[in-house]
C-alpha cells in the first residue's frame, strides 16, 4: 500500500493516479482510492460522475490494471455494522438509529476511521496487489493516520465499557452514578438526541469488539512493512513548511517517509542557455532573454529550497516532476505525469 500525502494543490491526487497508472504499466493490478471528499480524482482521470465506493476498472494494460474508487463513508460504515452485528435484527436496529445515522454520515473524525477500515478491505481484496491512497491535505492526513489507534483506544476505554455495560443492565448505572452526567448531557444535546445515543449504545453492544479488532489491524497495516508513505510537495516555501510539519507528525507516529515527489518544479533550459540569457538581459529588445533568466532564477531558488528541505530527510529519496504547461484533467494528462515519474 502507498499513501500519497501533504499540502493542498501540490498534486497529490494527480500523482496518486499517475502512480497507479505506472504500476499498471508494469503489470500490477493497482487501485487508487481517494479519501478526500472532493471529487478531484474523478475529474483528474476524466471520469466525472462514475467513481463511487465500488471500484471501477479505469484501464487495462496487458496484465496490468488501474482501478479507482472514492470513499463513501456511510456505505462503508453500514457494511461494517452488517459484518459484526450478531443478526439481521441488530443490523436493522443500528442502521435505523438516528444517532448512528448522524455519527456515520456527518462527523469528520468518522471519515478518518472509516477510511482506514476501507483500506483494510481493499488490502485484503484479491483483485488488487497495490493500493494507492490519495489523502486530503496535511492536517487531515495526519488525523487519518492516527484514527484507527484512537478508535481502538476509545473502545478499550473504561468509560465506554461502562456505558455499554450500563445500557445492557437496564440502565441501572445510568440511573445511579451517571445520572448527573446524563442530565447535563441531555441539557446540552437535547433529551431526544440523548435517548437516541443510549439506544444506539444498546444496539451497538457486542459489536464493538469486531470494530476494535479492525481498528487495531488498520493501525498495524499503516505501520507495517507492506505500506510506504510518499510525500508530495512543490518547491515553494509555504508548501515545504507544511510538508515539514507533516513529516514531523509522521515521525511522531513512528512512520518513515520512503519517497518525496517534488512536483511542479520550474522547468530548466540548461545552464548554457541561462548564461546566454543573463549576458543578454540588458539588451533593449531582450524581453525573451529576461524571461529565460527569470525562469532560471526561479529554478535555482526551487532547487535550493528543496535541497534545504531534504536535509531533514537524509535517508529519503527525492523524485522531481516538472511543471506541465497544462492542468491535468484526463487520462492523457495522468499518462504524461506517469511517464515523468518513470523517467530516469
Ligand atoms: N506537474 C504538474 N504540472 C502542472 N499542473 C499540475 C501538475 N501536477 C498537478 N497539477 C495541477 O495542480 C492542480 C492541483 O492538483 P491535484 O488536485 O492533484 O492536487 P492535490 O494536492 O490533490 O490538491 P488538494 O489538496 O486540493 O487535494 C490541478 O489543477 C492539477 O491539474
Ligand atoms: Mg487531492
| Domain assignment present for 308 | yes
Question: For 287-296, what is each residue's pLDDT tens digit?
Answer: 777 777 788 8
CA of 4 to the centre of ligand 2 (A): 10
CA of 339 to the centre of ligand 1 (A): 16
Q: Is 267 in the pocket of ligand 1 (CB under 6 A)?
A: no
Question: Are 118 and 71 a contacting pair, CB within 8 Å?
Answer: yes
| Domain assignment present for 306 | yes
Distance CA 287, CA 216 (A): 61
| Domain assignment present for 281 | no
pTM of the prediction?
A: 0.82
Question: For 100-136, what is each residue's pLDDT tens digit?
Answer: 887 777 666 677 888 888 999 999 999 999 999 998 8
| Domain assignment present for 133 | yes
Task: Name the closest ligand to CA 12.
Answer: 1
- Supply the CATH number for residue 23's domain: 3.40.50.300
| Domain assignment present for 310 | yes
Question: For 315-325, what is each residue's pLDDT tens digit?
Answer: 899 999 999 88
**Nearest ligand 1 atom to alpha carbon 263:** 1
Question: For 127-175, what is each residue's pLDDT tens digit?
Answer: 999 999 998 876 667 777 787 777 777 777 766 666 666 555 544 444 4
User: Which domain does 322 fall in, by range?
Assistant: 2-84+110-148+225-268+302-342
| Domain assignment present for 320 | yes
Count how many domains the chain has: 1
CA quadruple 101, 103, 107, 110: dihedral, nearest 10: -110
Amino acid at each position: 500500500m502507498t499513501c500519497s500525502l501533504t499540502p493542498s494543490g501540490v498534486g497529490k491526487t494527480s500523482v496518486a493516479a499517475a502512480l497507479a497508472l505506472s504500476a499498471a504499466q508494469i503489470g500490477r493490478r493497482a487501485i487508487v482510492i481517494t479519501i478526500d471528499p472532493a471529487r478531484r480524482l474523478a475529474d483528474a482521470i476524466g471520469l466525472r460522475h462514475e467513481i463511487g465506493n465500488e471500484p471501477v476498472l479505469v484501464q487495462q494494460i496487458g496484465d496490468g490494471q488501474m482501478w479507482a474508487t472514492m470513499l463513501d463513508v456511510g456505505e462503508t460504515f453500514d457494511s461494517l455494522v452488517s459484518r459484526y452485528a450478531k443478526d439481521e435484527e441488530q443490523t436493522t436496529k443500528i442502521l435505523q438509529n438516528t444517532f448512528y445515522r448522524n455519527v456515520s454520515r456527518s462527523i469528520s473524525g468518522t471519515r478518518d476511521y472509516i477510511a482506514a477500515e476501507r483500506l483494510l478491505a481493499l488490502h485484503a481484496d484479491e483483485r488488487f496487489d497495490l493500493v494507492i491512497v490519495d489523502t486530503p491535505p496535511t492536517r487531515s492526513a495526519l488525523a487519518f493516520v492516527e484514527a484507527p489507534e484512537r478508535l481502538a483506544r476509545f473502545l478499550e476505554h473504561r468509560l465506554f465499557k461502562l456505558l455499554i455495560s450500563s445500557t445492557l443492565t437496564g440502565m441501572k448505572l445510568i440511573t445511579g452514578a451517571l445520572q448527573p452526567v446524563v442530565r447535563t448531557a441531555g441539557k446540552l444535546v437535547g433529551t431526544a438526541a440523548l435517548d437516541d445515543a443510549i439506544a444506539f449504545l444498546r444496539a451497538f453492544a457486542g459489536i464493538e469488539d469486531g470494530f476494535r479488532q479492525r481498528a487495531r489491524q488498520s493501525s498495524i497495516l499503516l505501520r507495517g512493512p507492506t505500506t510506504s508513505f510518499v510525500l508530495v510537495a512543490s518547491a515553494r516555501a509555504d508548501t515545504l513548511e507544511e510538508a515539514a510539519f507533516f513529516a514531523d507528525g509522521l515521525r511522531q507516529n513512528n512512520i518513515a517517509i520512503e519517497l518525496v515527489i517534488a512536483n511542479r518544479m520550474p522547468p530548466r533550459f540548461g545552464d548554457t542557455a541561462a548564461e546566454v540569457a543573463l549576458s543578454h538581459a540588458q539588451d533593449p529588445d531582450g524581453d525573451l532573454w529576461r524571461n529565460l533568466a527569470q525562469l532560471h532564477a526561479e529554478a535555482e531558488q526551487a532547487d535550493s529550497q528543496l535541497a534545504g528541505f531534504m536535509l531533514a530527510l537524509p535517508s529519503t529519496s527525492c523524485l522531481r516532476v516538472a511543471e506541465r504547461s497544462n492542468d491535468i484533467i484526463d487520462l492523457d494528462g495522468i499518462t504524461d505525469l506517469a511517464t515523468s515519474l518513470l523517467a530516469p
